[in-house]
A and B are shown apart, each in its own frame.
Chain A
Amino acid sequence: MRSPARGRKVTDRGSPRIEEGKAAVLRHLESFARLFDTDREILVGGLGPPVSHLAGHELIPVDALLDTPMFILSGWACRAFSLPDGRRQILDFYIAGDLVGYSSRPPSRAKASYLCLTNTICAGASELIARTHDQPQRYPGLTAAWRGIEDEIERRLIDQIVCTGRMLAHERMMHLIGDISRRLKRAGMGSNDGFVMPLTQEALGDALGLSTVHVNRVLQQMRRERIIRTALGRVEILNPQLAEDAITTPH
């Protein structure tokens, strides 16, 4: 059986992209809990080697054991469920700093598959998580962070149900853009000048439950109304209040 996390090992481990990714991991974890010196020490040495995957690669197939959690260091991934006729629902996006495929309830299995939407670099977190689970008192910050991450995954799933079930198309889009902007800022990868969002109209449609042409229409309408500005993979929110208002659940 092939390893779900199979990919190409990155030889240039000190590249700025990987260092930025590790910094994003740290910021992500710190957003959930205060990290102590012991937490930081194990984090420095406990991450697996960086492994690169091409866009379209399936990191974890549906029904696979969730025993290979990994941090995204760069690139975008998603959790998606496909129907037999090819229709697909994207349930969540994962950006740099995010933990993919984690469950605190072994032997859990993946209820949906985890896919790379762009070329992606990941670092295994199995050993790191196992060591902190073995000695929770020694690593209180990380132990709290794992709980926080699971909590956030559940919150984002609820967000996604409310978004696709009850919101109008432009509200769904604004909700998604606002949420991604907030998460990228948390990871230190977004700014008020905008952020990189390398998603196709098809991926946006699969996440928002809209057809590709409708996604195109909504984006154009938002540009015309000067709510957002887009250019070559970058999105800038021109009306941040509207973006904040569209995020309905408390964070």
Chain B
Amino acid sequence: MVIDRSQTRLGFLAHWYGLSGLFGGAGRKGGVPMSRFYFNFRQGASFSVDDEGCEFPSVEEAYLGAVAAAQDMWRELLIRREDPFACAFEVTDIKGRELFTLPFSELLEACRDHSAAPIPKPLAGNATSSRVDKR
């Protein structure tokens, strides 16, 4: 379903007050016009719609914003024993048009592209049993 957020009450009020950020709508930052992007979050079968959005000057900046958030969230997902590979941002504009999808797995792929070193292979057996064997 495509949601045209420019027609929602919150979108209208935010635009009217010229607010940005936590409760805001599209505005300007340092003279640069800002657009609102919605970072819907997919995690496995669950999908949470972003009804607030964030402001960025361009789609490219919004993509970098998604990357930064995925980097932040990666560590917390691991702490909660949740799989980052099952997560993705599906980003739309204020009209609900899909702009891009960022699977969290893309972060690792970016690292591999730039790494000359081979990926170390895991030892046979787990780390605990290896230590026990050495003793």
Contacts and interface: CB of A to CB of B under 8 A. Distances in A.
Interface in A223-244: 224, 230-233
Given A168-B79, A211-B65, A217-B41, A202 B50 contact: no
Interface of A is mostly: helix
A219 B89 CA distance: 16
A212 B65 contact: yes
Contact of A216 (B13, B53, B71, B76): B53
A125 to B, nearest CB: 30
A233 B41 contact: no
A158 interface: no
Interface in B66-113: 66, 68-69, 71-73, 76, 79, 89
B48 to A, nearest CB: 7
Interface in B5-44: 13-14, 17, 19-24, 39, 41
Interface of B is mostly: helix
Contact of A199 (B22, B48, B89): B22
Contact of B68 (A213, A219, A233): A213
Nearest to A211: B68
Nearest to A232: B23
Interface residues of B, number: 27
With a 10 A CB-CB cut-off, give which of B17, B21, B50, B52 has the most chain A CB atoms. Answer: B21
A200 B39 contact: no
B51 interface: yes
A197 B22 CA distance: 9
Contacts of A169: 72-73, 76
A201 interface: yes
A191 interface: no
A169 B73 CA distance: 9
With a 10 A CB-CB cut-off, give which of B22, B39, B72, B89 has the most chain A CB atoms. Answer: B22
B94 to A, nearest CB: 15
Interface residues of A, number: 24
A211 B21 contact: no
A217 B51 contact: no
A231 B23 contact: yes
With a 10 A CB-CB cut-off, give which of B14, B50, B71, B73 has the most chain A CB atoms. Answer: B73
A42 interface: no
Contacts of B48: 220-221, 224
A25 interface: no
A204 interface: yes
B13 A214 contact: no
A216 B54 contact: yes
A169 B76 CA distance: 8
A51 interface: no
A197 B69 CA distance: 23
B33 to A, nearest CB: 16
Given A213-B65, A216-B39, A199 B51 contact: no
8 contacts: A199-B21, A200-B21, A213-B54, A217-B50, A217-B69, A221-B48, A224-B48, A230-B23
Interface of A: 168-169, 197, 199-204, 210-214, 216-217, 219-221, 224, 230-233
Instruction: List 4 A-B pairs, minimum CB-CB distance, nearest first.
Output: A200-B21, A213-B69, A211-B68, A214-B69
